[in-house]
Structure 1
Amino acid sequence: MQELGLYDIHCHIVPGVDDGAVNLEEAVKMVEAQYKQGIRTIIATPHFRKGMFEPSASEVKKQFQILRKTVWEINKDMRLYLGSELYASENMISQIKDKRAMPMAGSNYVLTELYEAITASQVRAYLGILISKGYRPVIAHAERYGCMRNDINFIEDMIEMGAYIQLNADSVIGKEGFALKRFCKKLLKSGNVHFVGSDCHGIKRRPSRIGEAYVYICRKFGQEYADEIFIYNPRRILEDARQKRAGTKKIV
């Protein structure tokens, strides 16, 4: 069902606010490259990490609105939404409440970045902070963390807690090495992957390969599974956002 349009729920296309697109021109080219791969909906997720990436919410929103308006004037088939890639800390809830970091597209889903050497107990603690307040953590590029690569059962535990698993397209198709590709394949085979994101940072530097990843998963695991990951699960984020705006979803 690719004709419905693929989604990219993790990318750094908002210009000038993190280590992604450096300016509007590059950001537009990144969106155009996404379109050519069959993507029709993007959730932009600039980094928020205290001490490293702390763009003001007003500047992020300003640059995002400029990008969305520019893209709309070029191609009215593309839909852009805004979120954050929030670095895990004990202050996540206050950062969201203060609107320094943003859930995905205004939903209760929060793209959550961890540090590579994190332990399983630390992961549980950070996820618990979000889940206890009604948020739905989406673990960004889960393949990067040793505690997950070394214990696939731990990933199932996190899902049971209420977390969601996102893999990077580059890792899925082998651009990040054979070991990560093998792990992604194992995880996909287990059925414990909810999303694939591009995590793209530039038109040449870490470009989007969502289209290649979609084709690969269709070939290896079937189109039904690929559509679930690239279309239907992302749609649930937007539906959650609609329900939240309508007041039918409450945050504690």
Structure 2
Amino acid sequence: MLFFKKKEIPLSDFFPKGFVDIHSHLLPGIDDGANDIDDSIELIIKMRSYGIKKLITTPHVLGDVYPNTTETILEKLELVKSELIKRNITDIDVSASAEYMIDEQFSLRLENNDILTLKDNFILVEMSYFNAPYNLYDVLFEIQLKGYKPILAHPERYIFYHNNFENFQKLKRAGCLFQLNLLSLTEQYGKGVQNTAKKLVQQNFYDFVGTDTHHKEHLKRLKSIATPKNIKTLEHLIAKNAYFK
């Protein structure tokens, strides 16, 4: 299956009307995404030009590195929404959830039901890029026992799983949904990630997609995925994001 013919089309033709991006880092000064409010608005306006008008932005919640709380996330969200209104930008719907690192602090949040969902009971989680948590399957079980449905962000980026696809199958059997980073279909994260993403697409492992936008360079590179071949290959998967309207 070929993903990258050079002929590109506008991203506004690639993303269907009603597409919802469920993974991005657009809140100002809160993680490794947008630096300030001007940066946030610039990224959002650029995404709008791509046809993405519904955004569920997902700042990292990661120990002492990004110790974001539900309150700080929602405060930053209100700042962005107020700035959009101030600039008379009224056709974009921005809400916030989080990208939760599966760690000890996440387990405490889970115990206290201190979780920002994407919609209904869906939550976005991630793991370290170095290794999986020793208690990963226990946590996945606890997530579901609490009534939530885990969506694992960018499984293709966990290099420690690349040599044994049984690991991905095991995660799916454990009730874990998969979210593809669209940029993983480029060389943004390296050839190994790109090849794994292609294989997972081919084997129909993914449930949803996201841009995982952090900065302008991500949005520049995103244009390269907009080809007729990719539309044909990914349209059924991209359409699933409409659930989050």
- TM-score, L = length of structure 2: 0.82
Deviations 1:92-113 (A, max 9, x none): 24314657542224x3111111
CA RMSD of aligned residues (A): 2.5
Q: Show the counterpart of 1:245.
A: none
- Measure how far apart 1:143 and its partner are: 1.2
- Measure how far apart 1:164 and its partner are: 1.0
Q: Show the counterpart of 1:138.
A: 151
Is 1:219–2:222 an aligned residue pair? no
Deviations 1:213-245 (A, max 9, x none): 3x25x514x53x523332x3223245xxxxxxx
Misfit runs of 4+, over 6 Å: none
Q: Show the counterpart of 2:240.
A: 233
Correspondence 1:1-150 to 2 at 5 A: 2-72=15-85, 73-96=87-110, 98=112, 101-105=115-119, 107-119=120-132, 122-150=135-163
- Measure how far apart 1:153 and its partner are: 2.7
SS of residue paired to 2:216: coil
| Contact 1:10 1:198 survives alignment (8 Å) | yes
The one of 175, 194, 210 aligned to 2:188: 175
SS of residue paired to 2:31: coil
Q: Distance in 1 between matches of 2:244 and 2:164?
A: 27
Q: Show the counterpart of 2:212.
A: 199
| Contact 1:199 1:208 survives alignment (8 Å) | no
- Measure how far apart 1:91 and its partner are: 4.0
| Structure 2: runs of 5 or more not aligned | 1-12
| Contact 1:37 1:210 survives alignment (8 Å) | no
Q: Distance in 2 between matches of 1:237 and 1:104?
A: 7
| Contact 2:23 2:57 survives alignment (8 Å) | yes
Q: Describe the shift of the 1:42–1:94 C-alpha distance in structure 2 as closer, same or farther (beyond 3 A).
A: same
| Contact 1:104 1:110 survives alignment (8 Å) | yes
Moved more, 62-71 or 24-33: 62-71
One-letter identity of the residue aligned with 1:219: K
Count of paired positions: 231
SS of residue paired to 2:235: helix
- Measure how far apart 1:50 and its partner are: 1.5
SS of residue paired to 1:104: coil
Q: Distance in 2 between matches of 1:63 and 1:155?
A: 35
One-letter identity of the residue aligned with 1:83: S
| Structure 1: runs of 5 or more not aligned | 239-252
Q: Distance in 2 between matches of 1:48 and 1:133?
A: 19
Q: Describe the shift of the 1:48–1:58 C-alpha distance in structure 2 as closer, same or farther (beyond 3 A).
A: same
